Each structure stands twice: as C-alpha cells, then as structure tokens.
Structure 1
Amino acid sequence: MSVPNRAADPSSDMPGPAEMVDAGASVESYELPDAEECQQLRDQFYNATIIDRIDATEDLAKFRIRPDAPIPAFEPGQYVAIGLGYWEPRLLGTQPEDVPAKKIRKIVRRAYSISCPVLDEHGELAPVDEIDYLEFYITLVRKGATAVSKPPALTPRLFGKQVGDRIVLERKITGKYVLGQYAPDETMLFMGTGTGEAPHNAMVTRLLRQGHRGRIIVATSIRYHHDAAYHREHEILMRRFPNYLYLPLTTREPENIQCDHPNFIGKQYLQTMFTSGKLAELAEDSLSPQNTHVYLCGNPDMIGYIPPGSDPPENPGMLPLLRQAGFRDDVTDHQAGTIRFEKYW
C-alpha cells in the first residue's frame, strides 16, 4: 500500500503541518518554470481546492480539500492520494531538494487516510458521507529519516499552501482498513499513534451516527498534549455519548519523563498501557476478545507486524501482544476478538 510511513518513535507520526523558500536560492537549482508556466501547469493538472486549513502546531494541520467532481462513495478508514507539482516552492527550514529538469513539471503524490471533521459548524456529527469535501490530518516532514534518506517531497510543499490554493486529488479511494462486521453491543477499541488517528475519526463518527450501543474507545499515543488536534471534538463527543471515550496518551510531557514530577505517570506507550492493564482500567472495560474488536493504525513499531522470515524486535508491537491475549488477525468473519490493522509497508 502506498500510504504514509510513520516515525520510529511510537508516539510520533511522520508521513508517512509558513514561510516559503528563498526564491533566489531555489530557482537556479530547481530550474523552475516561470510564473506563467507554473499557472498553466496548475490549470492542467490540479482538480481540487483547499477550502480550509486548521493548524494545531507549526508542523501539524488539518487540510480540507474539495474536489471539482463529486466524491465517489467510500468507507471510513480508506485512503486516497493527494499531490502537488514539483515546481511548487518548499518551506523554509525543510531539507533542500534538487529536482532534475525532467521531473520539475511532474506531480509528486502521496496517499493519506481520510479523516473527518467529526462535528460540523452546528456541532452535529459530520460523517464522511454527509460532507462535500475530504479532510486530511497531516504532519509536516521537514527532512528524511536518516542522513542518506531522500528529502520529503510533498509535505514541505503542501504546508506552503493556503485556503483557495489548488491541488491534485486522485479519484480512486481505496483500502481494506474498514470497520467490517460487528454487533451493536460490542466494544470497539481504536489504537493509534499521532495522525494515525485520522481513519479512526471517520470510523467513530460513522459508529455514533448509526447509534452503536457498545463501548467506543479511542486511545492515541502522542508526544505532547498539543499534538491532539481533535481533542475539543472528542471532549464534546464524550459529553454527548456516554459510551464514548477518548484517551490521548502522552510520552514527552514533564509528567512522562521527570521521575520527581508530582504527577509522574511515565511514558504512555500503547503496548505498556495494554499489557499492564492500565488501558482497561482507564477504559472501564475488560477489553476482552470475547466482546472487543481492535483497530490499529500508525507507527509500524506500534502495530508490530513481523514479515515472514524476519526476527521479532526486542520490543514487541501490539499484534503479538494482542495475539497472546487471545485476539486474532487471521480470520475473515470479523467476529469479536478480531484485530484489523492498516499496513504501511
């Protein structure tokens, strides 16, 4: 699957949100088309408009994109590619990129899980099939993961865009990470890291709209409190729906890392929260495979998928831990006890 990769830290989320680059420094190395040709290229390729941008931090934002054509039917949890031309300028402070002349007039694309606003402007539920735009929850990737990694191509350009700017939105929405089958009284447990929460927002809103009676629990591991960009919406949902619970679990706040902090709780990684029983305690639910469906999205280290023939890591992810607890990911009937996870490899 061509979807965003996640960072090595289970509490962070990299692709997979300004200032523009200094034009004098970039035009010569990029061999950029002139302004008139850039506009011609946008007119030729771009088919959607950014209608809103909501910044949580300087490196984290929600982008709402409305395509020119009607949005095809899709399921919460699926993903689609967005794109921009290589001719678009990059943000100041991101890794430099040398684009060859043969590539400068082409489009860079990257697939992202589709989120949703959760609530509309009137405070009512806003499922993905009741709005005329797509929402994406995206982290700005400023540089490659290692010294030899290629510079990130899309987000340094995307984070220079504002409301009214045009963009590429692919028509094909796809993906197998969807709600599947479930009973109305069963517990739905969504575990994510960072912007891996995006598809869970869409899934949860669908469940609440359908009147799901069982517990709905969203546990998201983030570095800092300000990384929970949908916290206000989740707070409203918890007040309105007694069966709904949102747990933003931090790893870098003072109470996570300073042992002498009066409210010291340690780093709240999903794996340790689950195996220690703390997650079940906070959820006020047994999280038993007899009545619980589990959904995993985000950092591959948190998910813990081990390719055939590979050695297991020193610190296991959620998949082996859930299997030890009696959950299964090798079933097709999707009864309680099923694990579903998004693949980023």
Structure 2
Amino acid sequence: MNQHLGAERKMDEVDYPDEEEKQQLREKHYNATIIKRIDLTEDLARFRIQCDEPFMPFEPGQYVAIGLGNWEPRLRGTQPEDVPIKKSRKLVRRAYSISCPILHDADSPHAGQLAPVDEIDYLEFYITLVRQGATSASKPPALTPRLFGKTDGDRICVEKKITGRYLLGDILLDENVLMLGTGTGEAPHNAMATTLLSNGHRGKVVVATSVRFQSDLGYQPEHDELMRRFPNYCYLPLTTREPKNLEPNRPDYVGKQYLQTIFTSGRLAEMVGDPLSPSNTHVFLCGNPDMIGYVPPGAETPDRPGMLPLLRAAGFHDADEASGPGTIRFEKYW
C-alpha cells in the first residue's frame, strides 16, 4: 500500500521539462540541422535542413514530415497553447512538400547552375507561419509557431520516410507541362520544373502561382533568371490583393488574378503564347483545396468551381484514367 502511494506521489511530482531535460530531449529526438533560413516576410520563409545521415533518394514533388518538441518555445504574437504535461515531452510533426533552391547560391562551387533535388545534400522547405487557428474553436497551430523561432544552427527532426504520389511521371521531352499553385503550393513545382530543365526538356514548362501580395512570391528572382536562360520556361506570378487587383481606376488594373479566372478567360494561354491543349499538355495542381476543386463522392458541388472541373470541361482527364498528355495530377492535403 505504501509503495503504491509512493509511486502515485512520484507521478504527481512530474513537471514540465527544465532546460537540462529539454537539451536531453533534443539530443534524443533531433536528427537534422537548419543550415539556412531565408526570411521573405514576417510570416514566410525558406528553410534549408541538412540531415545527420544521408536521406533516401526521392522524386521531385514528394514530401516528408518535420518536427519539433512540444517543449520548444512558441513565437511571440502567435496563439497561446496549453500543452498538457503528458504531451510536453512529445514531438509535433507536419508534412511538407520538398522544394529546392532552383539555382545554386553564389558561394557554392556550382554557383548559378541549376540545383535539382538530386544534386543537393539538404532539403529545402517553403513554409508559411500560421499564427492562429482558422476559427476561435480551432486548436492552436502547433509546429510553425515553434519553427519560426528557430534559426541557422538549430536542431530539428526530419522523418526518415520521404513519400508521395504527386510525381512528374512519364512526360516526353516535347510535351508541355503546366503547373498551377497557390502560395507555398509552389514548392513541389519548383523541384519539378528544375528537374525538367536540368534534363533538357524542350516543351513549354509553365509555373503559374497565385498569391495575395507580390512579397509572397518567395522565388521570384530565381524564376526570372530561369526565363532569361530557357526560352521554353514561363513563370506567371499572379496576385489578388495588390492595388492593381483592387482599384479599377488604376492604369495597370488587372483584377484579382485567380487561377480559375485566368484559365477560363483564355488569358493564361495568351500569357504563355500557347493554347496549352490537352493533346500536348500535362497539368499539375497544388495548394489551396478550393483552387484544386476536388469534390469527394457524395459531397455538394461548391458554387465556385476549382480547377479540376474546369480542366475536365476543357478536355483534360485525371491521371488515373489514362496516361500521356491531357492528364491532371493534383496534390491531396486532405
């Protein structure tokens, strides 16, 4: 009886990790280092992470989970979180598509050359800081408020398994590739486009990304350089909340540049200088589920369609129905 009470009392005395234990937990669970953090805005950054052990070969478009301990501090200005003691020694993880630097840095031995994922020894991630839950009833975001408190040299966990079915597949050298993304959904497209160009792709490679503000385009200089070097490459940076999107009296007014709108209006084909026909074009979609427009069986059709039904109406088909040009591949985050 006394032993039982003693054990019970010992459990009651368990508290949150102190600084010494936090360091022990880091040494136990973390297996990678942030080697470079590139801040683009207060809420948007590129993280380059080098694993202690070589990571498994993977294909552009795939993803992996990264994690930090619940014992790590949260960034100021983010939603508070009450972590129960029983979870205070656990990791919080989230999967992210793997991006790439597109071009090697100026201080690299390969400065300025294409940097596809199979030619770099680190993983690059393109991540938005989520400061609070979507609604007042939502759980506080767990990972990014901790991640954005980290910088070069800090340790982190990278899961061993890199996976995902959002892949280039079989694309002939002269076929067109159209990649449509929103926000950080551009990440896998960066990896895919860089690989295509490094493999000598001859067809058009088009990456169109819709964001709120120009400052949310984290790879704009790299894409501009690709367009200077490769006549078949086209990057379309689209915004929805800049003055030119909202003020009709401006001489440069273009309206809100949603991907669905520029596709159905014909402006996309006009900007690219190609009809982007199902007969010779592969389409990839990644980002906001509303943009993608996947409707589960039995669910109600939304008032504003996403790209999937619009593409199908234009003669494209899902990749699992047939292969070759005209296929649509999309990343599922649900």
* TM-score, normalisation: structure 1: 0.90
Q: Work out whether 1:78 is the aligned partner of 2:67.
A: no
Q: C-alpha separation between the residues in 2 aligned to 1:95 and 1:285?
A: 46
**Residues 177 and 340, structure 1, Cα contact 8 Å, conserved in 2:** yes
Q: Percent identity?
A: 70
> How many Å apart are 1:260 and its aligned residue?
1.2
Q: Which runs of 5+ in 2 are unaligned?
A: 1-14, 106-110
Tell me what 1:133 maps to: 122
CA displacement 1:134-162 (0-9 Å, x = unmatched): 00000000000011000000000000001
CA displacement 1:316-345 (0-9 Å, x = unmatched): 000000000000005354200000000011
CA displacement 1:12-37 (0-9 Å, x = unmatched): xxxxxxxxxxxxxxxxxxx6411111
Runs (4 or more) in structure 1 with deviation over 6 Å come to none
**Residues 319 and 329, structure 2, Cα contact 8 Å, conserved in 1:** no
SS in structure 1 opposite 2:299?
coil
**Residues 182 and 334, structure 1, Cα contact 8 Å, conserved in 2:** no
Tell me what 1:110 maps to: 94
CA displacement 1:284-322 (0-9 Å, x = unmatched): 110110010000000000000000001100000000000
> How many Å apart are 1:182 and its aligned residue?
1.1
Tell me what 1:20 maps to: none
Tell me what 2:75 maps to: 91
Tell me what 1:322 maps to: 311
Q: Which has the higher contact order (CA 8 A, sep 6+)?
A: 1
Q: Work out whether 1:335 is the aligned partner of 2:319.
A: no
Tell me what 2:259 maps to: 270
Q: C-alpha separation between the residues in 1 aligned to 2:143 and 2:169?
A: 31
The partner residue of 2:36 within 31, 49, 52 is 52
Q: C-alpha separation between the residues in 2 aligned to 1:334 and 1:102?
A: 49
The one-letter amino acid of 2:188's match is: P
The one-letter amino acid of 1:42's match is: R
Q: Work out whether 1:234 is the aligned partner of 2:223.
A: yes
Q: Work out whether 1:160 is the aligned partner of 2:144.
A: no
The partner residue of 2:182 within 176, 180, 193 is 193
> How many Å apart are 1:261 and its aligned residue?
1.4
CA displacement 1:176-228 (0-9 Å, x = unmatched): 00001111101100000000000000000100000000000000001111110
Tell me what 1:183 maps to: 172
The partner residue of 1:224 within 213, 236, 239 is 213
Q: CA RMSD in A?
A: 0.8
Q: C-alpha separation between the residues in 2 aligned to 1:32 and 1:102?
A: 9
Q: C-alpha separation between the residues in 2 aligned to 1:182 and 1:36?
A: 53
The partner residue of 1:283 within 272, 276, 280 is 272
* TM-score, normalisation: structure 2: 0.93
SS in structure 1 opposite 2:86?
coil
The one-letter amino acid of 1:228's match is: L
SS in structure 2 opposite 1:200?
helix
Q: C-alpha separation between the residues in 2 aligned to 1:295 and 1:330?
A: 10
The one-letter amino acid of 2:99's match is: S
Q: C-alpha separation between the residues in 2 aligned to 1:124 and 1:189?
A: 23
The one-letter amino acid of 2:254's match is: I
Q: C-alpha separation between the residues in 1 aligned to 2:180 and 2:319?
A: 19
CA displacement 1:32-62 (0-9 Å, x = unmatched): 4111110000000000000000000010000
Q: C-alpha separation between the residues in 2 aligned to 1:125 and 1:46?
A: 30
SS in structure 2 opposite 1:135?
strand
SS in structure 1 opposite 2:249?
coil
Q: C-alpha separation between the residues in 1 aligned to 2:45 and 2:116?
A: 19
SS in structure 2 opposite 1:167?
strand
Structure 1's 216 and 147: CA in aligned 2 closer, same or farther, altered over 3 A?
Answer: same
**Residues 194 and 227, structure 1, Cα contact 8 Å, conserved in 2:** yes
Q: C-alpha separation between the residues in 1 aligned to 2:273 and 2:323?
A: 24
**Residues 206 and 234, structure 2, Cα contact 8 Å, conserved in 1:** yes
Q: C-alpha separation between the residues in 1 aligned to 2:319 and 2:128?
A: 32
